[in-house]
A and B are shown apart, each in its own frame.
Chain A
């Protein structure tokens, strides 16, 4: 079956070195991205979406393979982020495995895939590379930056590093930095990958193999932190796959089967790269913009001039409402324009991707404000 109007992948190549936060650098790089909607004449209606850990540039619409974008429920014609009004851009982060320069691409200096040699990238580096994409697209200022989870952190980084390049920042289910518990979960995920015998110190592609079981395990753990206790209770409870206990180590409970399926799907069908997973979790661990400003978040966000919408979800324990309060408080300390909504949801961290009337009401109304704030050609005369 052929797809009507499939989304089209575009590429942006930057032929100069990109110095990285770690002190290392990339000799050159490419970003793969998709766009939706029309850029207006004065290029003032552009919105950049930042993706989460395992996300990519295919955020909306349906691609040629029939795959729906990961936030398609919220982005499209007549949707919360209305592509009839906005020009929406989403790029795959550097270090990703969906087309942007990353561990699975060829290192121009060696002619082989980067693999474990791909340098550690941070949120700041992503902002730098996306800022080059912004210039390439000829966009002077984003109407808004929008992101959930890791994407929300990237939005904050943008607002701090390039305050004049965005009018609105929408930070959803994020945190100003990871907690010890968050880092601990990431570390267990990394150990799962690195202790897989097929990992080969990150050079598994050279060995024509992948650390499938380690990556699946990492995903199972990650997935667990996206769900709430209540939700798992409602969805699975103690339901068994067969009607009686077997007293062995086979998959017996439905929840075990579900997690294994999620892990397996991620490592095989979705073919996510294990080195990318390691890099993304590291970038999350390193994210701490306040570290550059005496560890004072208020002082850090004093750099920002964008108007903010901050959203959290009641059952999210990965980045709980408390973590969003920290962001809101720091913005209030600076007299910033900020609105905050705490959405009642049983879906845990994943709630930011799912339908919810309150969430859609808040988000949609805020997007109307973003639209109303687009400078008109007449006003600028």
Chain B
């Protein structure tokens, strides 16, 4: 029985070359990798810290390495350019040093795909401006004190970091939380977009 694939995963799958070697960081239950294996016959590994999720990923037939992205440098496990794609969905904002992890991803992967929520979305801006409170929305459903999202950024922040680090943004797709796009999101992504998918590589 094939499980339902999220729009985000479908959008990512469109960027993946068939039969490529793929690493998914924070692969969760492994549904993205499973989808990529079925659709593109990729050769993939997943990394996941959570014990229960890594068991689910194993049940989905994947090679799963249980590892903490905060404790181990990816280059410990993998050689330079050893993957065609390194993917990290909705996890950049939870790691201790997103900038360092990006460097590691770009070292071991020829292409990287990252997705993260936009802190610059107008709802967040409104809550901070008029409520004077840290935003709590459906995309960001936590309190400031218990959120795993310790490094929130806006699309602009991310693109500034890329420029500073000489990272090339190959493609960008901005969507709402249901992973749909609109004219407004295309015109004012940093205000209207809720989630961004970036494909990046070394310049």
Task: Show the binding face of A for B, using Cβ within 8 Å.
Answer: 325, 328-329, 332-333, 335, 337-344, 358, 361-362, 365-366, 368-369
Q: Is B185 an interface residue (CB 8 A)?
A: no
Specify which chain B residues have a CB less than 8 angstroms from the CB of A362 in the assembled complex: 51, 54-55, 58
Residues of B within 8 A of A333 (CB): 79
Contact string, B18-34, partner A, CB cutoff 8 A, digits 1/0? 00010000000000000
Query: B59: which A residues are within 8 A, CB to CB?
Result: 365, 368
| Contact call B54/A341, Cβ cutoff below 8 A | yes
Number of interface residues of B (CB under 8 A): 21
Which of B63-71, B111-119, B132-140 lines the interface with chain A? B63-71
Q: List 3 tightest A-B contacts by C-beta distance, closest first.
A: A361-B55, A358-B51, A340-B65
Chain A residues whose CB sits within 8 angstroms of the CB of B51 once the complex forms: 341, 343-344, 358, 361-362
Choose among A337, A342, A343 the residue that contacts B63 (Cβ–Cβ < 8 A): A337
CA distance A160 to B66 in the complex (A): 24
> A343: which B residues are within 8 A, CB to CB?
51
Please tell me if the beta carbons of A340 and B58 are within 8 angstroms of each other in the complex: no
Partner of A332, one of B55, B58, B77: B77
Would you call B67 and A342 a contact (CB within 8 A)? Answer: yes
Contact of B64 among A339, A358, A361, A368 (CB under 8 A): A339
Task: Flag whether B148 is at the interface (Cβ < 8 A).
Answer: no
Contact B55 A365, beta carbon cutoff 8 Å: yes
- For the complex, what is the distance from the CA of A337 to the CA of B21, rounded to whole Å? 13
A328 to B77, CA, bound (A): 8
Q: Which residues of B contact A339 (CB under 8 A)?
A: 58, 62-65
Give the residues in chain A near B130, CB-CB below 8 Å.
none
Given contacts A328-B77, A332-B77, A358-B51, A340 and B64 within 8 Å (CB-CB): yes
Is there a chain A Cβ closer than 8 Å to B149's Cβ? Answer: no
Asked if B45 is at the interface of the complex by the 8 Å CB criterion, the answer is yes
Whether B66 contacts A340 by the Cβ 8 Å rule is: yes
Given contacts A332-B45, A332-B77, A358-B51, contact A338 B63 (CB under 8 A): yes
Q: Which residues of B contact A368 (CB under 8 A)?
A: 59
A344 CB to nearest chain B CB (Å):
7
Given contacts A335-B43, A362-B55, contact A369 B77 (CB under 8 A): no
Expressed in whole angstroms, the Cα–Cα distance for A332 and B65 within the complex equals 10
